[in-house]
């Protein structure tokens, strides 16, 4: 798992990790290109990636897609959990509930995140997950932004707990937060 702020170099670091592994790489994009700004961001990422990487778009059902794609000789790079979370919260009406000041009851979001946490430890091959740190600023005024910051933080904790290695990236430089125990 690779976490960091926006424009921290976390995607680039993840791509380097995928290249270094020597496995066949499948890139799983969770973004949907909707407007000019997002289209430019996606193009900016795409032009960096090797042409022989597979590329799959999966905005919502990540666990099912990972079960389908994972294989012992494959490295799957998911970029990123933050857009996936955003897609779930908006598709599943949690954003609307937060806006209205209601308690959040969103089966799509709860089910998909639980499925990811349960699925990750069972997958063969290598999985690299990119996710944003978004809770290091002032608590946002808008209730949807607060919901998003809360759920992103909780998701990062839960995913980090089931990953072997967690790396924080700042200014393009990696800092290891969790590493597999060294084998003697």
- Give the residues lining the site for a second copy (CB under 8 A): 1, 3, 5-9, 12, 36-37, 40, 101, 103, 133-143, 145-146, 148-154, 156-157, 159-161, 166, 168, 170-173, 175, 177-178
7 is in an annotated binding site: yes
Is residue 13 part of the annotated active site? The answer reads no
- Identify which of residues 24 and 150 has a Cβ nearer to a second copy in the complex: 150
What three-state secondary structure class fits 126? strand
Structure tokens at 2: 């690779």
176 is in an annotated binding site: no
6 is in an annotated binding site: yes
- Identify which of residues 39 and 114 has a Cβ nearer to a second copy in the complex: 39
Nearest Cα to 81, choosing from 120, 25, 125? Answer: 120
Structure tokens at 170: 């700042």
- Region of 7 (left: φ > 0; alpha: ψ -120 to 50; beta: rest) is left
Smallest gap, in angstroms, from Cβ of residue 63 to a second copy? 19
Structure tokens at 179: 């590493």
Q: Residue 7, Cβ neighbours under 10 Å: how many?
A: 9
Binding-site members for GTP are 4-11, 29-31, 46-49, 57, 79
- Catalytically annotated residues: 45
């Amino acid at each position: 798992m690779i976490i960091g702020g926006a424009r921290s170099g976390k995607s680039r670091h993840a791509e380097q990790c995928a290249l270094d592994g020597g496995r066949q790489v499948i890139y799983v994009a969770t973004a949907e290109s909707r407007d000019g700004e997002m289209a430019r961001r996606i193009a900016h990422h795409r032009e960096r990636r090797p042409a022989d990487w597979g590329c799959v778009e999966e905005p919502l059902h990540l666990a099912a897609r990972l079960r389908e794609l994972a294989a012992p000789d494959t490295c799957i790079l998911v970029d990123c959990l933050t857009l996936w979370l955003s897609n779930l919260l908006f598709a599943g009406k949690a954003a609307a509930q937060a806006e209205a000041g209601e308690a959040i009851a969103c089966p799509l979001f709860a089910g998909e995140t639980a499925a990811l946490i349960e699925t990750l430890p069972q997958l063969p091959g290598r999985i690299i997950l990119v996710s944003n740190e978004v809770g290091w600023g002032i608590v946002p005024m808008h209730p949807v932004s607060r919901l998003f910051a809360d759920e992103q933080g909780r998701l990062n904790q839960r995913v980090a707990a089931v990953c072997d290695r967690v790396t924080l990236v700042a200014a393009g430089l990696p800092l290891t937060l969790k590493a597999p125990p060294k084998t003697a």
